[in-house]
Amino acid sequence: MSSSDRTAALRARRTQQQNAPAGRQPAPRHTTGRPADLVITSDMIPAPVPVEASGDLNHEEIHQLGLCEQAVANLSTATWLAGKAMQSIRDRKLYRQTHTRFDAYIQERWEISERTAYQMIEEWPLAESLATKMGEPVTASHTRALIHVSHLFGLDAAADLYQQLHTRAADEELRLTATIISQITKAIIATTGKKAEAADFRATARQLVTAKALPLTAAPAQPRRTLTTGSSGQAPAPVSTPPSASASAPTQEPTSLRNFADNHGTVTTPDPGPQPATGPQLPSPIALAPDQAGTEADSGGTYVLALIERIAALAAALDKEVAPLDDLDAINWAQSSHAQRALELRDEAVADLSSSILTLKRAMPFNQTR
């Protein structure tokens, strides 16, 4: 769905709710997090039966929608309640009746990893604070995007920033995403520094969020590589913009949150400039030599294989960079949710890429030893 379609749907639903007669408003959301608020049983939710329907919702359908939305919203509430419960079990040593260690308890009793448990423990205070501030549960990805802010400047500062972003997005009829939140928080912290006072962070956040133009720029497009188009066996060459053309085209910055949201997949904080090279040297993509060229399919397949092998090398380099983090104890992991995600991505990337290389080698119409 495009952003314009999504905006139209939001406007239509808001108008429908505002114009609904008394007694036909959707069921209110209970967000205090008390156990009584979570009691929505399966028999209360309407059976998922396809129906032919159009037009406005009737009274019964509005009630059904309210129940279904409450059940979905309860997922976020239940998650942070579980995190709070786990911390209580851990800190009060309530597991000692059956286990000697907390990690053994959660693995055997709930079949979840210690890492996941500590992530939930880390996130629940902010999730509760955001739910209290907003009057409804907040998406888990939004909570994670603000964790760093809460660690540096406190729960209130993170909740205030989220409310400001939520208000601006609502005013411009946009969907607030975790990517937007993460990009803006990075820009604020880059301005204030990590050791700033909470009051300074709040002032900078207010100034940035209410500004007409956000201080975020689009990342330059990466050059694309093309496959050989003939049987000459020429190596693929980067496709780039001529210097004269790039010099004459000024970089356009988004002028509102709308622009930022529409392009959030390619935006980043301002480039700090050249950085010193660190880490292992990675192999360049393997070009096709003239004597390696066969048919067009062979050339393309060989290049694709070389490209995938380079990606595998990148994953291996990432493995070397984050390998020391494996030795962190659980407490330090709780303070490093970004490191946790990096390890998860590393494991997935290495496994998927290794499988891809093996599959491609078996599927290629030639058996070339490299």
pLDDT, tens digit (0-9, with 9 covering 90-100), for 257-309: 444 444 443 333 444 444 444 444 444 444 434 444 444 444 556 656 766 77
Q: Which residue has the higher pLDDT, 168 or 8?
A: 168
Q: Which residue has the higher pLDDT, 87 or 358?
A: 87
Residue 114: which domain range? 16-46+57-127
* Chosen domain end from 81, 102, 127: 127
CA dihedral of residues 46, 50, 51, 55 (deg, nearest 10): 80
Mean pLDDT of 327-346: 57
Q: Which residue has the higher pLDDT, 129 or 8?
A: 129
| Chain mean pLDDT for the chain | 69
* Least confident span in 38-42, 45-49, 320-324: 320-324
| pLDDT band of 128, cuts 50, 70, 90 | very high
Statement: residue 101 has pLDDT above 50:
yes
Q: How much of the chain exceeds pLDDT 90, in percent?
A: 24
Least Cα distance to 115 among 331, 346, 321, 351 occurs for 331
Q: Evaluate whether residue 314 is within a structural domain.
A: yes
Q: Which residue has the higher pLDDT, 270 or 199?
A: 199
Statement: residue 94 has pLDDT above 90:
yes
Q: Whole-model pTM above 0.85?
A: no
Mean pLDDT of 89-112: 93
* Chosen domain end from 223, 241, 270: 270
Could you give the count of Cα atoms lying within 13 Å of 215 in the half-sphere of its Cβ? Answer: 14
Residue 360 and residue 307 share a domain? yes
Residue 157 and residue 116 share a domain? no
Rounded CA gap, 305 and 358, in Å?
10
* Least confident span in 13-17, 218-222, 364-368: 218-222
For the chain, the 3-state helix, strand and coil shares in percent, each to the nearest 5, are 60, 0, 35
Mean pLDDT of 74-90: 88
Structure tokens at 343: 């390890």
Mean pLDDT of 21-45: 57
Cβ 243 vs Cβ 280: under 8 Å:
no
Statement: residue 34 has pLDDT above 80:
no
Cβ 29 vs Cβ 136: under 8 Å:
yes
Q: Evaluate whether residue 5 is within a structural domain.
A: no
Count of domains for the chain: 3
Q: Evaluate whether residue 119 is within a structural domain.
A: yes
Cβ 283 vs Cβ 310: under 8 Å:
yes
Q: Which residue has the higher pLDDT, 335 or 150?
A: 150
Cβ 361 vs Cβ 304: under 8 Å:
no
Residue 205 and residue 146 share a domain? yes
Q: Evaluate whether residue 284 is within a structural domain.
A: no
Statement: residue 109 has pLDDT above 60:
yes
Residue 151 and residue 266 share a domain? yes
Q: Evaluate whether residue 280 is within a structural domain.
A: no
Rounded CA gap, 37 and 54, in Å?
31
Rounded CA gap, 251 and 159, in Å?
33
| pLDDT band of 338, cuts 50, 70, 90 | low
* Helix (H), strand (E) at residue 179: helix 178-192
| pLDDT band of 136, cuts 50, 70, 90 | confident
Residue 24 and residue 119 share a domain? yes
Residue 156 has what pLDDT? Answer: 95
Residue 300 and residue 260 share a domain? no
